[in-house]
Amino acid sequence: MAPTRAEPFNDSSALIDFVINQGNGVKGLSEMGLKALPRQYIQPLEERMCMINIKAQESIPIIDMSNPDDPEVAKSICEAASKWGFFQIVNHDVPIEILENVKDATYKFFGLSAKVKNKYSKEHSSSNNVRFGTSFTPQAEKALEWKDYLSLFYVSEEEASALWPLACREQVLDYMRKSEVVIKQLLKMLMKGLNVNEIDETKESLLMGSMRTNLNYYPKCPNPELTVGVGRHSDVSTLTILLQDEIGGLFVRENNGDNWIHVPPIKGSLVINVGDALQIMSNGKYKSVEHRVVANGYNNRISVPIFVNPRPSDMIGPLPELIKDGEKPIYKQVLYSDYVKHFFRKGHDGKKTIEFAEL
């Protein structure tokens, strides 16, 4: 039998107007108490969770960072980046209070009225660096995703103070500042694993020259089995540092397999994943892996990723240190901003973005 659908939004233009133009987002839909999912959110059968194999007994590595100078820690991180593309870190240098504050600030921002949040939408924001939105790329997607977000691209403290929403500004800046120590520790270990022993200013800028933080809000959903919070994709970053709440719902594809593994929430932990930029720069040694987020019928969920990226103007390709001894490059040099534009030009489609850089 066909699933029942929400009557008020059989007309797509009415849904787009309510969700996007008026700034209500999927949070607004959720709060209407809809009994059925609007058809615009119904994913093709092959994208639904009921169609995937979940490996319940598997887990991504959990790595204790209490002694980051221990060679075993570096070894574990490089192995996890090569085999899994994902790992969790505990006992790191970001204070738990900072993590709790940014989670509270995320709820505070999404608790604002649609009218206030809409000031930061694509149509109304005073800067491309501050963006409130919904789904992923609504104009390019066959089916919408059940997520709202605020995206904050960091340029300077001055710009953040002037343009970022007051509800979350200081908390996000604190989270980014404190995370920088951990990001540098991780990149140092990952570079050493590639026999790149010196991270000079140029290399540091290439690896982490720009940062974007997203506040993600996944409201509870009618018929969650028919849609997704986020569809299958890999990130375009160097690294992503993810703070998730206690609800859970992030799944990672087992490398080179068809099984999916849940990433269980661990209080105080951060989830780290390799992005496409690092896969390209490592010439495929480190793996950027597909992941997805399920919708939830019972709870609202939040997450706060920091995307650590090259600068938009950087050319990315296999690091010279890796190919100087005759190793064959498997990726070409690409302008990072072109790579990112390619990612955002289409709906989520697994690992297809990286084909843009393949030789």
- Total number of domains in the chain: 1
Q: Could you give the CA distance from residue 328 to residue 346 in angstroms, rounded to a whole number?
A: 30
**Edge-to-edge strand ranges of the sheet holding 53-54:** 53-54, 259-262, 250-253, 291-293, 230-233
**Range(s) of the domain holding residue 73:** 55-357
Query: What tokens were used for 355?
Result: 């084909």
Cβ contacts of 310 within 8 Å, gap of 6 or more? 205, 206, 207, 209, 210, 238, 277, 316, 336
Q: Is the pLDDT of residue 161 over 90?
A: yes
Determine the Cα–Cα distance for residues 81 and 62; give it in Å rounded to an integer: 12
Nearest to 213 by CA among 271, 169, 159, 275: 169
pLDDT by residue (tens digit) across 77-125?
999 999 999 999 999 999 999 999 999 999 999 999 999 999 999 888 8
pLDDT at residue 5 in the model? 43
Look at residue 107 in the predicted model and tell me its pLDDT. Answer: 97
> What CATH number should be reported for the domain holding residue 83?
2.60.120.330
223 domain-assigned = yes
Tens-digit pLDDT profile for residues 333-342? 999 999 988 8
Written as six digits, the tokens of 177 are 């500042």
Residue 90 resides in a domain: yes
Residue 251's DSSP bridge partners are: 262, 292
Q: What is the pLDDT of residues 238-278, one digit of tens each?
A: 999 999 999 999 999 987 777 899 999 999 999 999 999 99
pLDDT given for residue 23 in this prediction: 87
Q: Flag whether 66 is in a domain.
A: yes
What is the per-residue pLDDT for 137? 56
Whole-number pLDDT of residue 329: 95
Decide the pairing of beta strands 62-64 and 86-90.
Answer: parallel
C-alpha closest to that of 221 among 37, 74, 22:
37
Domain assignment present for 41: no
Indicate whether 336 belongs to any domain.
yes
Higher pLDDT, 354 or 309: 309
pLDDT band at 153 (very low <50, low <70, confident <90, very high): very high
CA atoms of 224 and 145, how far apart (whole Å):
11
**Whole-prediction pTM:** 0.93
Residues 178-194 have pLDDT tens digits of 999 999 999 999 999 99
Band (pLDDT 50/70/90 cuts) for residue 4 is very low
Residue type, 263: V
State which amino acid sits at residue 226.
L
Query: Whose structure tokens read 């609800």?
Result: 247
- Separation of alpha carbons 178 and 107, rounded Å: 21
Question: Is 21 among the domain residues?
Answer: no
**Three-state secondary structure of the chain:** CCCCCCHHHCCHHHHHHHHHHCCCHHHHHHHCCCCCCCHHHCCCHHHCHHHCEECCCCCCCEEECCCCCCHHHHHHHHHHHHHCCEEEEECCCCCHHHHHHHHHHHHHHHCCCHHHHHHHECCCCCCCCEEEEECCCHHHCCCCCCCEEEEEEECCHHHHHHHCCCCCHHHHHHHHHHHHHHHHHHHHHHHHCCCCCCCCHHHHHHHHCEEEEEEEEECCCCCHHHCCCEEEECCCCCEEEEEECCCCCEEEECCCCCEEEECCCCCCCEEEEECHHHHHHCCCCCCCCCEEECCCCCCCEEEEEEEEECCCCCEECCCHHHHCCCCCCCECCEEHHHHHHHHHCCCCCECHHHHHHEC
Q: Does residue 34 belong to any structural domain of this protein?
A: no
Higher pLDDT, 58 or 171: 171
pLDDT in tens, 8-34: 676 778 888 898 889 899 999 999 988
Check residue 189 and give its pLDDT: 97
Q: Which two tokens stand for residue 22?
A: 């008026």
Q: Is residue 353 one of the residues assigned to a domain?
A: yes
